[in-house]
Amino acid sequence: MNAQTIRSPLRILGIDPGLRRTGWGVIESDGNRLVFVGCGSVEPTDCLPLASRLLAIHDGLAAVLRDFQPSEAAVEQTFVNKDGVATLKLGQARGVAMLAPAMFGIAVSEYAPNQVKKTVVGAGHADKNQVAMMLKILLPKAEPASADAADALAIAITHAHHRSSATLRLKVVGI
């Protein structure tokens, strides 16, 4: 065996946070090669109070983290819409989505929605259908059951492509 380290695939969890449905997607990245591992969504019951829905999101993501054991995680940044209350609630779901991997000792990177679309499709204003088409090309074995799971896979792919710069940013700020 030589001094060069043996490279193994890196398992990445992408998370698309939401109060009704939090999508998750797991891929393995080995150089430029991407492999689909799993995807799905955590769907708390709509009638639950906010705190219980946030707990359900946490518990669902914790189960995914235990089952798939990713090395790194990425979350989509919240876009600010016209409804401030909805944006605040989405921010709470996003906080839980960032907390769950952090509790497992996993670094979490963040990506803007336009960066995810630009990475996967090549255009920052691509629609969901274009993202879904590119997912079929990039991850042929993936068949996400919801748009949220598809978005989570796109976030994981984005992290696979941009992780070296994301890691450098975390080192610069001392995390």
For the annotated catalytic residues, the residue numbers are 16, 76, 148
Contact 71, 151 (CB under 8 A): no
3-state secondary structure of 110: strand
Confirm if 106 and 65 have CB atoms less than 8 A apart: yes
The single residue listed with the structure tokens 């109060």 is 19
Nearest to 33 by CA among 154, 146, 161, 119: 161
Q: Are 40 and 24 in contact (CB under 8 A)?
A: yes
Is the CB of residue 159 less than 8 Å from the CB of residue 72? yes
Closest CA to 149 of 138, 162, 135: 135
Q: CA–CA separation, 84 vs 117, rounded Å?
A: 24
